Amino acid sequence: MLPYLIASVLLGGGMLAPAYAQHEHMHAPSAVQTVADVTFTLRTDISDGKLVFMGDAGPINGKANPTLNVPVGAVVQINLVNGDGATHDISVKDFDAKSNQVNDKGASTTIVFRANKKGTFDYVCSLPGHVQAGMIGKIVVGEPAADTRPKAADISRDPHDLPPSVGKRGPQHLSVNLETTEVMGQLMDGSTYKYWTFNSKVPGPFIRVRVGDTVDVNLSNAKDSHMIHSVDFHAVTGPGGGATVTQAAPGSSKSFTFKALNPGLYVYHCATPMVAQHISNGMYGMILVEPEGGLPKVDREFYVMQGELYTAQRHGTAGENEFSLEKLLAEQPEHLIFNGNHDALTKTHRMEAKVGETVRIFFGVGGPNATSSFHVIGEVFDRVYSLGDLTTAPLRNVQTTTVAPGGATMVEFKVDVPGRYILVDHALSRMEKGLAGFLYVTGDPNPAVFRSTSRPDALSGH
């Protein structure tokens, strides 16, 4: 089933949608980009005795031949799913975009093009007689529809939100305060979800201590919560990582003290039955136990975690989305996300670095189920501290690193060339369910490292 992905990342309209496919009639590869700005999914159908394109989720869901509003200059992806078993295609003649034919029910195809001129244009099925039978709709470029989508709290964690290195200090006695909350949050443009959180953000706060520190953990559960919550630190040596003694009812508090014995980067999460539901709903974060002397200095540090949401509603369904136990147990997430929701690292929070700087990403997987193949498109990790191990010599020159659910890694790399770099799980179908982030690198071009030798293309946006 093809998703409908919402929220234009760069151009302020329609729908965020990663897109790799390029059809055979595209002007040139440079006419598009790795991540589309606007994506729609249409399904062929029969309505009131006519053949139609039916909107397939999101604001256009259930609308026959819906009007597709896109910004000028946007890279547009239209997915077509065969819903009636007859032969169809989709064509936008004004942008020289035409798909393959789909013949069987459930088959699908895609077109991608840049909407480089303002106006109103037709999208049609080009098979003889199908336009006359009703398969024609409008693409309006430059006049986005009024924003009537529901809004909720921004629960996304800013990747800059982490404390500085502990440096060369000695062991100390520290306190960590966590509040568990249940918050209606923005999932994607037009969609909301009831998140369960630590400190009202997903992931929870980044906790930074030193090996040898003694840490008091104080967990309080908000009075308006409906559920019991707790916390399990993978860095803790003790029953349940602390979860055994922190099962807190709404309005109550629990505490424990532990000594940080093992340096490394660790996940923490709620461990109240059913544990997978609490984690999926947003109850995860990371704790860094730095080795003696702290970590080497870098120019930029970012905090990124991957998670999954299992909703009864299909990906892209407008309005409140609700938890699905059936999909959780089948390990079939509708949404995969960095830092809480679809917009966190593409629209809400801007990750930036300058040419010549060294970037460090603390990356973890809350899960609860999917293993990540973490990759930054256009970069090579100079150093990977695999499995969150900070005391073994790091791996060098790594393209993609595997991170298990409940696992973590630390990666470092120098940025040499300006541009937009995309954070992904290299199980790339997950991009279509929202799993993408952007790192913007500014500075002077570096033609000795990278330069284009292609002729300029007016459609490329360059």
Domain boundary residue, one of 141, 174, 191: 141
* Residue 215 placed within a domain: no
Asked if residue 157 belongs to a domain, the reply is no
CB atoms within 10 A of CB 298: 14
Query: What does the angle CA 31 – CA 35 – CA 39 come to, to the nearest 5 degrees?
Result: 90
Q: Is 447 exposed, middle or buried (0-12, 13-18, 19+ CB in 10 A)?
A: exposed
Q: What is the spatial order of strands in the sheet that 68-70 belongs to?
A: 68-70, 136-141, 119-124, 91-92, 97-98
Max Cα separation, the chain? Answer: 79
Please, which residues bridge with residue 421 across strands? Answer: 439
Is there a domain that residue 55 lies in? yes
Contacts of 89 (CB under 8 A, 6+ apart): 80, 98, 99, 100, 101, 102, 109, 125, 126, 127
Residues counted in the chain: 462
248 touches 220 (CB < 8 A)? yes
The contacts of residue 329 (CB under 8 Å, 6+ apart) are none
Of 157, 90, 166, 95, the closest CA to residue 338 belongs to 157
Residue where a domain stops, chosen among 141, 161, 181: 141
User: What per-residue confidence (pLDDT) applies to 36?
Assistant: 82
Give the domain range for residue 33.
Answer: 17-141
User: What is the structure's pLDDT at 37?
Assistant: 86
Residue 426's CATH number: 2.60.40.420
Predicted TM-score of the model (pTM): 0.82
Report how many domains make up the chain: 2
**Cα gap 217→148, rounded to integer Å:** 42
- Residue 184: predicted pLDDT: 97
Residue 67 lies in a domain: yes
**Upper half-sphere CA count for residue 447 (Cβ side, 13 Å):** 2
The answer to whether position 203 is within a domain reads no
How far is 264 from 290, CA to CA, in rounded Å? 6
Last residue of some domain: 94, 115, 141?
141
Q: Chain centroid to CA 11: how far? A: 18
Strand segments, DSSP code E, in 102-227 are 108-114, 119-124, 136-141, 173-188, 191-198, 207-210, 214-221
Between the alpha carbon of residue 401 and those of residues 290, 373, 407, 423, the distances in Å are 21, 5, 12, 12
Whether 329 maps to a domain, the answer reads yes
pLDDT of residue 144: 59
| Residue 429 included in any domain | yes
**SS3 letters across 409-445:** EEEEEECCCCEEEEEEECCHHHHHHCCCEEEEEECCC
Bridge partners of 138?
Answer: 122
Q: Per-residue b/e over 1-19, b at no fewer than 16 CB within 10 Å?
A: ebbbbbbbbbbebbbbbbb
Percent helix / strand / coil, the chain, rounded to 5: 10, 40, 50
Among 453, 369, 365, smallest CA distance to 403 is for: 365
| Cα gap 45→105, rounded to integer Å | 10
Angle at 375 between CA 389 and CA 297, to 5 degrees: 50
Q: Do the domain assignments include residue 85?
A: yes
Whole-angstrom Cα distance, residue 100 to residue 443? 41
Numbers of helices and strands, H then E, in the chain: 2, 31
Q: Is the dihedral of CA 354, 356, 357, 361 positive or negative?
A: positive
Mean pLDDT by 10 residues, the chain (462 residues): 34 33 37 75 93 89 93 93 96 95 95 94 96 95 65 95 95 98 94 97 98 98 97 97 98 98 98 98 98 96 98 91 96 97 96 98 98 98 98 97 98 97 96 95 96 66 45
| pLDDT confidence of residue 270 | 98
Q: What is the mean pLDDT of the chain?
A: 90
